[in-house]
């Protein structure tokens, strides 16, 4: 992951079924050290004695490989994401956000807590700015609501391959991709609905309508609704979530 003057990105591809949590096990491109990341999950707080279920590996997910980040993509992440970070209930400065890049064609992103995020190349390549921002709003909402901090931690941290958002400069190509695979873990439906709702609130705070989130979820369904990988492999069924957003005042 890389440091940028903006949030560190991680993240999420929604998949069918009841609420699920995404965990990303990343493998450094030049080593065998695996890092377990919780998408919408993270270290257990002292008040949460119950461990989260053991994660399972999505055997059908293809292994990812390293790929150079287009400098324009680094600038795009800073531009699209920074307003959301400033709009949080607990705002994050760009230098507090770390982003890791997974070289995976699936559209996905995840929040690992403590300002740490993951995004896939598929998300950056296939989503337009509004859809990218909506997905990031959902992940940023998980961070703002402390969902990761309420879950049991897996792994040892996200130091390898991460970059600070505000240190990613246009043309630097500083956001280094990581090879790895997704590990899935059950998520609470309530947490996913809460992240959708708070994500919309964050978008509204920067002058965007709730329809931006609805459009992103609808698009994800159209693009990867039948896929076993990506966002829909780690998130609950989307139809009910879209309807809940439509009912949101």
Task: Tokens for 110, please give them.
Answer: 């995840």
pTM (two decimals): 0.67
Rounded Cα distance, 211 and 219, in Å: 12
Task: Tokens for 175, please give them.
Answer: 């956001």
Q: Which domain holds residue 50?
A: 2-247
Q: Which of the residue ranges 206-210, 216-220, 222-226 would you say has the lowest mean pLDDT? A: 222-226
Number of domains in the chain: 1
E strand residue ranges, the chain: 2-4, 20-27, 34-39, 56-57, 98-102, 109-113, 116-120, 163-165, 177-186
Highest mean pLDDT among 142-156, 199-213, 218-232, 233-247: 199-213
Rounded Cα distance, 103 and 98, in Å: 17
**155-185 tens-digit pLDDT:** 334 443 556 666 555 555 555 555 544 443 4
């Amino acid at each position: 992951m890389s440091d940028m003057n903006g949030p560190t990105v991680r993240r999420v591809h929604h998949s069918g079924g009841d609420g699920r949590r995404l965990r990303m096990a990343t493998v450094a491109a030049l080593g065998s050290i695996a890092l377990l990341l919780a998408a919408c999950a993270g270290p257990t707080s002292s008040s949460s004695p119950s461990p989260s279920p053991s994660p399972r590996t999505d055997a059908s997910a293809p292994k990812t490989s390293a790929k150079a980040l287009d400098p324009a993509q680094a600038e795009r992440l800073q531009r699209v994401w920074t307003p959301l970070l400033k709009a949080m209930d607990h705002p994050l400065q760009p230098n507090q956000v770390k982003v890791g890049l997974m070289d995976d064609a699936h559209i996905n992103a995840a929040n690992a807590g403590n300002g740490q995020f993951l995004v896939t190349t598929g998300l950056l390549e296939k989503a337009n700015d509004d859809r990218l921002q909506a997905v990031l709003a959902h992940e940023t909402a998980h961070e703002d609501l402390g969902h990761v901090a309420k879950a049991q931690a897996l792994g040892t941290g996200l130091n390898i391959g991460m970059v600070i958002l505000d240190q990613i400069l246009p043309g630097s190509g500083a956001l280094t991709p990581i090879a790895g695979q997704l590990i899935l873990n059950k998520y609470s439906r309530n947490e996913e609905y809460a992240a959708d709702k708070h994500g919309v609130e964050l978008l509204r705070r920067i002058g965007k309508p709730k329809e931006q989130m609805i459009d992103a979820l609808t698009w994800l369904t159209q693009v990867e609704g039948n896929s076993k990988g990506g966002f829909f492999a780690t998130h609950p069924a989307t139809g009910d979530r879209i309807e809940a957003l439509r009912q949101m005042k």
